[in-house]
């Protein structure tokens, strides 16, 4: 690991480079929201401290696919060119299952982008702890909460990658304006608005929980948003299993979510279609005024049809999920974490780069994306929704909590919670029954 030890702390250097990156990377004409690598990230002088690795390959496996994967690869393309490392990236829609097959079969990637810290913890015995260099970069770049999510049993393993603002509700600004609807700021306002839209002859909500091997996760977000807004301490106790999953307060939160999610008077195409409707397409009826609102994270901004304008005065935009108490300021968040199964020097250099301000500023400008890295300029985001999300994620006044199911043990957060939500929305089990089932699945 001699070369690794020569890869000195890059935090100070990347802080300076961020200033240069902030001035570059305006979107080009390749498509709405599509950007380009900023000048600072194209200069090989900024990669000299990582070393030279001609002919070496680092494999990365994650759940990011299609255009988003292309934009991610573009953000590290000059790191590859300047260091000689070839990054072979593979994205999977069945990440949770495929990850287990790979690790159990002795075919783990060099780096995995885990969207679920709870699932990542299942592999702690196979992971390589973060080096002092990666730890220093992460400590400078993220708040303690984010560092804690990459820590397992007191050992820091994984720096954050992207950050998503999850507590968003998508809507049509024109539809709201034309009908005199105001953006709600409390849960009671949200229900009153839903009732008004329904009375006016439009279904107030769309929903879709289908997501391949991860079907059910959009429903868990509904419940997590509500628990978080009921009480942050309650949320922490629930996620850490200091109270049981079937605590009466959690059952009440599930039932509160059901005021919208299991309400046929509210739901476009009926509640019985939710579990089979792909979450990627579920919000599209907003464009035709067939439904008014869709709860989905900031990353959904990249999933609208190509001719959709996503802006405050555009075809669609998003507002924050209302608080139970208007004085609160909370945000449910998600993201991926850069965990390694290899201790090769090329892997170490790649981990350091992915933890740097240089990478995060570059990635912010290669396409729709958001991050909680404190060193980025939110105005560099290529779309208004990602600028808003990055502003929220880097705002110290916002009380942030990571997606609860992603923090829970994999047997729960990436299994029984998803399954239970589908049984609940399909009507085969009620809130109490799924909460009991999930509690019984919690590993002892």
Better-predicted residue by pLDDT, 31 or 397: 397
What average pLDDT score do residues 127-151 get?
96
> Is residue 200 domain-shared with residue 309, that is, in the same domain?
yes
Helical pair 417-426 and 217-230, crossing angle rounded to 10 deg: 100
User: How is 56-82 classified by DSSP, letter by letter?
Assistant: -EEEEEES--HHHHHHHHHHTHHHHHH
pLDDT value, residue 137: 98
Q: 270 and 417 share a domain?
A: yes
pLDDT at 179 over 80: yes
Q: Is 336 in the same domain as 431?
A: no
What total of structural domains would you count in the chain? 2
Give me the helix-helix angle, 417-426 and 248-261, nearest 10°: 50
What pTM, to 2 d.p., does this model score?
0.86
CA trace torsion 141, 298, 25, 28 (10° rounding):
170
Q: Residue 236: which domain range? A: 168-331+406-441
Number of Cα atoms under 13 Å in the Cβ half of residue 228: 25
Within this chain, do residues 434 and 342 fall inside the same structural domain, yes or no? no
Whether residue 146 is found in the same domain as residue 202: no
Q: 248-261 and 187-199 are packed helices; what angle lies between their axes, rounded to 10 degrees?
A: 30
Q: What is the pLDDT of residues 400-441, one digit of tens each?
A: 999 999 999 989 998 999 999 999 999 999 999 999 999 999
pLDDT value at 10 more than 50: no
Lowest mean pLDDT among 103-112, 334-343, 393-402: 393-402
Do residues 398 and 261 both lie within one domain? no
Q: What's the average model confidence in pLDDT over 221-229?
A: 98
In terms of domains, do 31 and 124 share one? yes
Q: Quote the mean pLDDT of the chain.
A: 91
- Please tell me the distance from the alpha carbon of residue 42 to that of residue 405, in angstroms, as a whole number: 38
Residues 289 and 183 in one domain: yes
Pair 428, 379 in one domain: no
Residues 387 and 238 in one domain: no
| Same structural domain, 172 and 223 | yes
CATH no. for residue 253? Answer: 3.40.190.10
- What is the β-pairing status of strands 86-91 and 330-340? unpaired
| 8 pLDDT higher than 80 | no
pLDDT, residue 34, reads 55
Q: Are residues 147 and 214 in the same domain?
A: no
Predicted local distance difference test score (pLDDT) of residue 396:
87
Say what percent of the chain tops pLDDT 90.
Answer: 86
Within 10 Å of residue 371's Cβ, how many Cβ atoms? Answer: 27
Does the pLDDT value for residue 101 go beyond 90?
Answer: yes
- Higher per-residue confidence, 87 vs 30: 87
170 torsion bin: left (phi>0), alpha (psi -120 to 50), beta (else): beta
């Amino acid at each position: 690991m001699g070369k690794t030890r020569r890869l000195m702390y890059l935090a100070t250097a990347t802080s300076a480079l961020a200033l240069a990156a902030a001035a570059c990377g305006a979107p080009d004409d390749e498509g709405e929201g599509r950007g380009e690598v900023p000048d600072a990230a194209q200069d090989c002088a900024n990669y000299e401290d990582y070393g030279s690795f001609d002919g070496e390959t680092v494999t990365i496996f994650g759940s990011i696919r299609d255009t988003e994967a292309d934009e991610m690869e573009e953000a590290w393309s000059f790191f590859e060119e300047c260091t000689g490392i070839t990054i072979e990236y593979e994205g999977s829609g069945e990440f949770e299952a495929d990850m287990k097959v790979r690790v159990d079969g002795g075919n783990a990637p060099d780096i995995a982008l885990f969207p679920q810290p709870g699932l990542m913890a299942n592999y702690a015995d196979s992971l390589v702890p973060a080096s002092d260099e990666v730890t220093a970069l992460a400590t400078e770049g993220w708040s303690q909460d984010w560092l804690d999510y990459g820590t397992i049993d007191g050992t820091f393993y994984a720096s954050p990658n992207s950050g998503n603002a999850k507590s968003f509700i998508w809507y049509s600004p024109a539809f709201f304006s034309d009908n005199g609807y105001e953006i709600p700021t409390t849960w009671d306002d949200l229900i009153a608005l839903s009732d008004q839209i329904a009375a006016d002859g439009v279904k107030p909500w769309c929903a879709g929980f289908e997501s391949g091997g991860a079907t059910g996760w959009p429903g868990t977000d509904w419940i997590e948003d509500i628990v978080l807004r009921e009480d942050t301490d309650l949320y922490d106790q629930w996620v850490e299993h200091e109270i049981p999953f079937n605590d009466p307060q959690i059952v009440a939160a599930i039932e509160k979510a059901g005021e919208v999610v299991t309400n046929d008077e509210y739901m476009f195409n009926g509640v019985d279609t939710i579990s089979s409707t792909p979450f990627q397409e579920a919000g599209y009826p907003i464009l035709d005024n067939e439904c008014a609102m869709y709860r989905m994270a900031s990353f959904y901004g990249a999933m609208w049809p190509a001719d959709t304008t996503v802006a405050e005065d555009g075809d669609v935009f998003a507002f924050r999920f209302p608080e139970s108490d208007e004085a609160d300021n909370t945000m449910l968040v998600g993201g991926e974490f850069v965990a390694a199964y290899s201790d090769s020097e090329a892997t170490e250099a790649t981990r350091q780069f992915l933890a740097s301000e240089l990478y995060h500023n570059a990635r912010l400008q290669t396409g729709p994306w958001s991050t909680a890295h404190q060193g980025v300029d939110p105005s560099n985001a290529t779309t208004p929704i990602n600028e808003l999300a990055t502003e929220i994620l880097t705002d110290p006044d916002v009380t942030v909590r990571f997606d609860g199911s992603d923090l829970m043990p994999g047997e729960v957060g990436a299994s029984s919670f998803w399954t239970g939500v589908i049984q609940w929305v399909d009507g085969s089990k009620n809130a109490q029954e799924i909460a009991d089932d999930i509690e019984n699945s919690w590993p002892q």
